[in-house]
A and B are shown apart, each in its own frame.
Chain A
């Protein structure tokens, strides 16, 4: 029986490409509603770990559990169903350039087969929340990097996923926009969606007081305690996060690091 409070469970996971081990005996759990940073230098295995979680690839040994999907027993043709429960964003946004902002987000919902009315309502709602409703008929190449990432986030959360995976989502963005995106992710997290964000930028995330998992050479070198939803709600109530976000908003681009 799985722990119902967990959304992602990774157990004794290893992944090798030939003789080279990208990941070695990884164990980590993410609780429902938790916000976790996955930090490590380039090549540490962050992207590989995320890919194994959204099952774009499968482990050499060990197991990945996402909600009710178990990597060792699931059928390949159920992967699309998993993807609808997991939102994913990337450094390079991965939007369809020949579709409007609206169509990009609607696509994620269309594949699940929901009605067009529901799609219109939901997409309108999300676009308003990410502040891009006025750009709904624009094509991604005409948008700024930050705007494109917000569209990607909107698409990722369109199906109300239980967890959002973010692979270096701010890698291409300047500091101000980076903070905007982080704020948006916090906001989504506050709505109950767990977020697992990979980044190489420790300084960026150190100040937020979230759980940070350090990954180096394919191994977890440090992991702070898992925070269950109850604790997290408390934390939000303490509004450490929101205060942080508030302060960030006022912060100008000095590039100063907060401690």
Chain B
């Protein structure tokens, strides 16, 4: 293959795109709409996952100390907590701090606290757990272990959350994965099939090219380029429509996030490859190679 042929192949691709604009637009719309379902699904998943992880990030283990525990033992507890696997940060909350934050929470009703003779709240450690360790069993294990320690009165964590929430989240992710897989596969199917139909429609032209002595590469490359471009434009179309939907819904639901630019780039690249690959495999059949 010489330079001239490469140039002709590029000309060929451009010509094909120019002359077949109508058919290309239809293919792109079909692909774009099926990809739109995929990106809507992705966006919803990302936002729900964001809410879940934010909620679980805020989970803390509270280690309440015995009343009047000596400073040495208290310090000891702090160090032991810090030395535990999966613990990210241990913050001391004195009973005074706890009370003032409690009264803040009560707001206008905080005057009822004035009725108290003395602060009923204990000193405590608030333990933040590394995100990888946010699991029911881990919290449970920590709680059981730490409750045995000298100077610890009680360990509390969002047991309720784990009892119900964790199952719910697991269920959500499983369903989500399953649905996602179906939508993803149908997207892949629609793209490769649309590209295949394009080629089926062009079989006559392919036969003519073969007849006049075009090499397989000469015939194939323009179609592969066309497939890739269809994939790119269709994915951009889907992303654009998603952006419109996003702007619209974010008026009603506050705090939802859009796909990150990296994710969009990956998505577009993936669709380009899918289009090219669909085109390439379909061509292989026609060219009998």
Contacts and interface: CB of A to CB of B under 8 A. Distances in A.
Interface in A46-103: 54, 56, 76-77, 79-84, 88, 94-96, 98-99, 103
B211 A111 contact: no
B210 A83 contact: yes
B251 interface: no
Interface stretch (B74-82, B137-145, B200-208, B231-239): B200-208
Which residue, A88, A95, A112, has most C-beta atoms of chain B within 10 A?
A112
A89 B289 CA distance: 25
Contact of A108 (B11, B212, B216): B212
Contacts of A76: 289
Contact of B211 (A77, A88, A99, A115): A88
Contacts of B11: 110
Nearest to A54: B211
Contacts of A96: 205, 208
Contacts of A56: 210
B1 to A, nearest CB: 7
Contacts of A170: none
Contacts, number: 62
Contacts of B12: 110
B8 interface: yes
Nearest to B6: A113
A159 interface: yes
A2 B179 CA distance: 66
A1 to B, nearest CB: 27
B27 to A, nearest CB: 16
Most buried by A among B11, B211, B212: B212
A51 to B, nearest CB: 11
Contacts of A79: 210
Nearest to B20: A98
Q: Main secondary structure on chain B at its contact with chain A?
A: helix
Interface in A114-150: 114-116
B214 interface: yes
Greatest chain A CB density within 10 A among B5, B15, B211, B289 is at B211
Contacts of A110: 5, 8, 11-12
Interface string B1-30: 110110010011001000110000000000
Nearest to A139: B19
Contacts of B15: 99, 103
A84 B4 contact: no
Interface of B: 1-2, 4-5, 8, 11-12, 15, 19-20, 204-205, 207-216, 218, 289
27 contacts: A56-B210, A79-B210, A80-B210, A80-B213, A80-B215, A82-B213, A83-B210, A83-B211, A83-B212, A84-B212, A84-B213, A94-B211, A96-B205, A96-B208, A107-B208, A107-B214, A110-B5, A110-B8, A110-B11, A110-B12, A111-B212, A111-B214, A111-B215, A113-B1, A113-B2, A114-B4, A116-B4
